[in-house]
Structure 1
Amino acid sequence: MQMAIVKMSKFNLLVFNSDRENLLHELQKFNYVHFLDLKEDESLEDYDLNIVEVPESIVAVDEKIAKVRSAINTLSKYQKKETGLKAMQEGGETIEFTELEAKASKIDYETICGQVLELNSKMDELGQEIAKTNAEISELNPWVKLETPIKDLELFKQVEALLGTIPKKLRQNVENDLSTTEYTYFEVLSEDKDNLNVLLLIHRDELEKVRDILRSYSFSNTKINIEGDIATEIAKFEEEINQLKEMIFQNKGRLENLTEELSSLQIVYEYLMNVKLKLSASENFLKTDNINVIEGYIPTDMREEFTQVVKDSLNNLYYLELEEADKDDENVPILLKNSKFSRSFQSITQMYALPNYNEIDPTPLLAPFYSFFFGMMVADLGYGLLLFMATAFVLRVFNLTEEQKDTIRFFYYHSIFTILWGLIYGSFFSFTLPIQILDSATQYNQVLIISIVFGIIHIYFGLGVNGYMSLRDGRPLDALFDVGFWYMALTGGIILLLSAATSLIPEGVATVSKYVMIVGMVGIVLTGGRSSSNIGGRLAGGLYELYGISSYVGDFVSYSRLMALGLSGGFIASAINDMVFMLFDLGIIGIIFGVIIFIIGQSFNLFLSLLSAYVHSIRLAYVEFFGKFYEGGGKAFKFLRSKPKYISIK
């Protein structure tokens, strides 16, 4: 029994080089095929086999993908699409994979992309022209008070006109020194933060003297490359900018019209990505002069369909071997298949690590515990109802992808356990309900004990899974040594401690539990280091294993977070309620602000409670639960289709 890990079969396939492209075309429709990279197979090094080079056509495909992606990104900026709830309700387009190629072949995407890229390029050029013209206006603006045309400044015979800048802080010094001249005119036309923009009219008899003065005060000459007056030139530039903006507006309208082709380009993009994946798949193969050597895995329950696809695509000109995958083969890819409930929790397992092929999928095992603990940490009927109604509404109304549905269902299931624990604690937005089984605020010792008991059950279950795996693999002694002795040591120790703390445990039971604990501990010491080749190493390894009992104490205590997080969320909600009631006593204004604070405060506390429950439930799963039986490290099954980005493909 492999739980939710799909059983795999390994195939070895020999085909003619000329048939490879057609085979890959048909296998991509089949999809459920995972190729092995034979370049990494050392057992084939002694054979005279060459690497199959990726076809050169893949370069052209990459160029097409880049062009289509660029066109999609451009048009997406101008698409007038529904947003928010309506967009989620409508969802995205869904097509069959078998329709993808036919639809893409009918789309003249080269023309569309050409038009989009040309318009976008033209708009970029126009934008650069506007920026350049604005820069020229910026250069002229400081001199706009100069009403005389620039060319006229060069017509003087006895006077030289200078335009330039001097540091603002030196103005007084410059004016003082220039006052010693007789035929020099000095005017400040404008100023900025640091400099003065000035005009000087200098008689030629004083030119050298004035130049010396200006040089000593860091005067910088300014050359203006126009002939007319400044204001007229600025007006011309502004008119030019308006014309450029109008051209941009027209091109923008053309791009908005082209957004009607956006869905077509998205279909082409998905098609090209699959073409690229199909072409690149051949680099996993090896070949002789005429034959391709192909190895990989398929789901065992799809062997007949796979065989038929190969037969139809190769006209019986092939050699195919199929055998069940070796459960200890680390190259076997992992594909999980779970119920609707368990599938919502697969992301938790995948974040940790996919199981190895000889393990079991822990997802169905962690799912009920995870939701149970999540509900206990949030533990409020009001919060649970809000989460239930929100997730149920989204699932019923919105058109979601399967991945999105799994994410929403993940929290939908948690809402049920949150409601359950809210009823047990009698909490509704931290208001006490008439029916209350446990009061977490006053009976926290009982809640702590319950939390530890749930932790013991959780850890014992994890150990039990470890024992099951050993028995399944024909290793009953390992089940006894690695699980049975720990059950004895832990259970005996727990009962012995309880007998010392309470009189409810009969003396005879306490005595038996002590000997059970001793037998378990001795068993751990004698067998915990059995992998060592000498007696000393075995005893040292066994003692080290027994020392691990301290980690179990930490594991049990770790479940106190089930109580702590539930209490903290309840206390915060209660504090918010107290603030609201205080405001209610202030009259109508207080009531209005009280309602606002209640909504905002409870919403924030709900967010914190959900986030904390999500994180700490993961922690209990990864550390306390997975640590007892789960190793992970499996390789994900690689389908022969690209993961869609824009549309849903069945």
Structure 2
Amino acid sequence: MAPPIIVNKPVEMYRINIIVPKHLVEKASSILQEAGTVHVEKTGRGVEEYIKQYDRLNNILNKISHIMNQVSKVSLDVTVTKLELESLDIDKIEKDVNSIYSEVEGMLQKISELENNLRELDGLRNILQFLPKNYFLKDICFRGKYVSSIAVKGGVDGVNQLISSFKEIYVVYKMQVEQNIVAILVYSSNIHESLIEKLSLLGFSFINYNKIANMVSLNDTVEEALRKINESYMKYSAMISETRKRLRDKINNYLMDLGKYLLIVENKIMQIKTLLNLYRSKYLVLLSGWIPKNNVGQVIDSFKNQDIPFYYEVREPVKGVDEPPTLLRNPRIIRWYESIVKFLGLPRYWEWDPTPIIAYSFALFYGIMLADMGYAIAIILSAIFILDKFVSDPKSRDYVFFKNMIIVSSIVGLIIGALSGYVFGASLYVLTDVLSDPIKFLILSLIIGLIHVNISHALTLAKALKEKIIGDILNETGLFITEIFGIPYVLYTMLNTPILNMPVEMYNYLLYGVFIGIGFLIIGSLKNMGFLGLLMWLFNLTGLLGDVLSYSRLAGVGLATIFLGASFNKLALLAFTGLESMIPVPLADAIIGGLMMVIILVFGHLINTALSALGGFIHSIRLCFVEFLSKFYEGTGYPFEPLRIVMRKRLVIE
């Protein structure tokens, strides 16, 4: 496999669940330890999760059945492909089913309320139709301070029992309807609660003040009230029919999807049904975690070779649902720069690993800012022979990576220093004057910055295309268009530097391309930030300019390293010549002057070596983090830490 050029991908992970008998859990753990490839997240009575999953699936199944039972006389042939069976996850099915179920339940609730209204209207009508049509409702459903009235309907024996129970009741109207009596009762208000309770116990239907006041006016006659009740009855009946039709249409629209969901859920239930039957004995333990895809067969074979009864389940992670741990796998040398990336944060499993481009970038930036053979060799030797003394465990993986990264970056500095011909600030020869000429060095730094920043924006565009973020796609596209047309225009009109032998008259047309790019920027900013985008798009251009100018620190720190070294050299030479002229003794002046020169050189170049190492590291980190990774990198992942047997470890007791 070819090495990654720009970015890499974390190692592909699978979710693995292994269920073993409880008395063999220690042996199963030992197998996983020996394999050293499983990042265990859950252990113990995790089988209960399968019970929850089973209950969850049954709940979904019941909802689907409930929804589909609302339609009748429908024949449905449902077929589920293997791809649909694997790709349609339970979360999506549950979300869709809950959404449909909520809509259906809302309509059923409305139908229930309307049907309840019909029943109440029926109850009123069954009493009012047997009362004189010219009676006013306020007379037959009156509630006063001392006297009240009520219209009732019940059996003949019940009416007699009611009258005998309450001496304060007077029948002012009575009509027999088959086996029932419709009557208007006038009674003392102080027995109202007892009367209502008795009517309910005897099974009477009745019209009281509160119920009828919500449906008709108390100033209506019985005839007018019946007309209004009939109108309301027809209205509610029509609403019920319309709601039932909408309910059927809604379910029919989703019927095929619901049928597929039903099949998928039933299959999922069957997958764990046998396992749950075994679980009733409570002798099973779940070991659950993440494993690199290429190691699945190794672990399963290990269990089979040990003759352990086990059940296992392996599946791919689902984006948006699962967040597997991150295991980086980069080629040698590039791998050493993982420590730089980890300073900002480990990449999430779902994002790119930027270690390759960071390795190239950091080594180049560090080497350019070092750019001196003497200081590069001094840093390499310090890393090899001295740096170990400042850490508690010099054999730790992260430290070894960091140390090797410093050595490799310093070797790059040694190579660039060989091109410039500088050793501890002294120019021995000149192969190129780019690194000693401030203007040329600055131009080189800005060109490097322009390329590096645009790689970052290209990765941002690729990420936006991958995740379909329209606003970011428009912003990055607009930025590239503006650069393509704007940079030649600025170079020619402001710096009088034509490029590509372009005819002079063509430069004016470049502005049209710039305006198109700005249009993309404005639309993208509006898409991302709304009205505020009308102002914020400008910061995309100024941000690009600021990012590129930030790379001028390459020239600044690089020149500072050379000039500061040269300054110490001149200072040492001045000290030598000054002391030589001040001391009259011929041999003594050379010894004292030479000693002072050596002290200044050693002390000065030690300081400059430390400053070069520290400054190069800090500014390289800044360029990689702020100007580059901040555009597209999240770095919120967590490390893959497999269960393994540790055979060696250094303990430090302080």
Report matched runs for 1:140-539 at 5 Å. Answer: 289-313=282-306, 315-388=307-380, 402-438=397-433, 440=435, 443-471=437-465, 473=466, 475=468, 480-505=473-498, 506=502, 507-530=504-527, 538-539=530-531
- By how many angstroms is 1:613 displaced? 0.6
Q: 1:632 aligns with which of 635, 638, 642?
A: 635
Contact 1:423 1:435 in 2 (8 A): no
Aligned to 1:590: 593
Amino acid at match of 2:493: A
- By how many angstroms is 1:422 displaced? 1.7
Q: Which has the larger radius of gyration?
A: 2
Contact 1:287 1:293 in 2 (8 A): no
Amino acid at match of 1:457: I
Contact 2:14 2:317 in 1 (8 A): yes
Aligned to 1:9: 14
Contact 1:329 1:357 in 2 (8 A): no
- By how many angstroms is 1:421 displaced? 2.5
Amino acid at match of 1:510: Y
Contact 1:459 1:628 in 2 (8 A): no
Aligned to 1:620: 623
Contact 2:346 2:638 in 1 (8 A): yes
Aligned to 1:159: none
Runs of at least 5 residues in structure 2 that lack an aligned partner in the other structure: 55-278, 388-392, 581-589
Identity among equivalent pairs (%) = 26
- By how many angstroms is 1:561 displaced? 0.7
Distance change >3 Å, CA 4–CA 394, structure 1 → 2: farther
- By how many angstroms is 1:412 displaced? 1.8
Find the residue that maps to 2:28 and give its secondary structure: helix
- By how many angstroms is 1:343 displaced? 1.1
Amino acid at match of 1:611: L
Match status 1:557 vs 2:541: no
Amino acid at match of 2:448: F
Q: Distance in 2 between matches of 1:38 and 1:489?
A: 55
Find the residue that maps to 2:52 and give its secondary structure: coil
Contact 1:379 1:421 in 2 (8 A): yes
Q: Distance in 2 between matches of 1:385 and 1:299?
A: 41
Find the residue that maps to 1:292 and give its secondary structure: strand
Amino acid at match of 1:24: S
Cα deviation, 1:41-76, whole Å, max 9, x if unaligned, reads: 999497299xxxxxxxxxxxxxxxxxxxxxxxxxxx
Distance change >3 Å, CA 542–CA 327, structure 1 → 2: farther
Q: Distance in 1 between matches of 2:292 and 2:312?
A: 16
Q: Distance in 1 between matches of 2:314 and 2:505?
A: 61
Amino acid at match of 2:462: Y
Amino acid at match of 1:487: F
Find the residue that maps to 1:18 and give its secondary structure: helix
Amino acid at match of 2:287: I
Aligned to 1:162: none
Cα deviation, 1:376-397, whole Å, max 9, x if unaligned, reads: 11111211233345657899xx
- By how many angstroms is 1:539 displaced? 4.7
Cα deviation, 1:13-61, whole Å, max 9, x if unaligned, reads: 2222112111111111112211234899999497299xxxxxxxxxxxx
Cα deviation, 1:140-199, whole Å, max 9, x if unaligned, reads: xxxxxxxxxxxxxxxxxxxxxxxxxxxxxxxxxxxxxxxxxxxxxxxxxxxxxxxxxxxx
Find the residue that maps to 2:18 and give its secondary structure: strand
Cα deviation, 1:538-569, whole Å, max 9, x if unaligned, reads: 45336424433222222111111111111222
Contact 1:422 1:428 in 2 (8 A): yes
Q: Distance in 1 between matches of 2:382 and 2:336?
A: 17
Q: RMSD across aligned C-alpha pairs, in angstroms? A: 3.5
Contact 1:384 1:416 in 2 (8 A): yes
Contact 2:44 2:286 in 1 (8 A): no
Aligned to 2:225: none
Distance change >3 Å, CA 453–CA 40, structure 1 → 2: farther
TM-score by length of 1: 0.56
Q: 2:32 aligns with which of 3, 27, 38?
A: 27
Runs of at least 5 residues in structure 1 that lack an aligned partner in the other structure: 50-285, 532-536
Q: Distance in 1 between matches of 2:423 and 2:651?
A: 42
Cα deviation, 1:326-374, whole Å, max 9, x if unaligned, reads: 3444521001111111111111111101111121101111111111010
Cα deviation, 1:207-260, whole Å, max 9, x if unaligned, reads: xxxxxxxxxxxxxxxxxxxxxxxxxxxxxxxxxxxxxxxxxxxxxxxxxxxxxx
Contact 1:447 1:563 in 2 (8 A): yes
Contact 1:14 1:291 in 2 (8 A): yes
Find the residue that maps to 2:343 and give its secondary structure: helix
Contact 1:12 1:320 in 2 (8 A): yes
- By how many angstroms is 1:309 displaced? 2.3
Q: Distance in 1 between matches of 2:395 and 2:593?
A: 42
Q: Distance in 1 between matches of 2:513 and 2:48?
A: 51
TM-score by length of 2: 0.56
Cα deviation, 1:98-157, whole Å, max 9, x if unaligned, reads: xxxxxxxxxxxxxxxxxxxxxxxxxxxxxxxxxxxxxxxxxxxxxxxxxxxxxxxxxxxx
Distance change >3 Å, CA 546–CA 567, structure 1 → 2: same
Amino acid at match of 2:460: N
Contact 1:328 1:357 in 2 (8 A): no
Q: Distance in 2 between matches of 1:399 and 1:592?
A: 37
Cα deviation, 1:80-105, whole Å, max 9, x if unaligned, reads: xxxxxxxxxxxxxxxxxxxxxxxxxx
Contact 1:330 1:357 in 2 (8 A): no
Contact 1:13 1:321 in 2 (8 A): yes
Find the residue that maps to 2:313 and give its secondary structure: strand
Q: Distance in 2 between matches of 1:27 and 1:618?
A: 38
Distance change >3 Å, CA 45–CA 301, structure 1 → 2: closer
Q: Distance in 2 between matches of 1:334 and 1:509?
A: 51
Amino acid at match of 2:507: A
Contact 2:370 2:410 in 1 (8 A): no
Contact 1:527 1:542 in 2 (8 A): no
Distance change >3 Å, CA 405–CA 330, structure 1 → 2: same
Amino acid at match of 1:578: K
Q: Distance in 1 between matches of 2:467 and 2:404?
A: 38
Q: Distance in 1 between matches of 2:445 and 2:45?
A: 50
- By how many angstroms is 1:574 displaced? 1.4
Amino acid at match of 2:424: F
Q: How many residues align?
A: 403
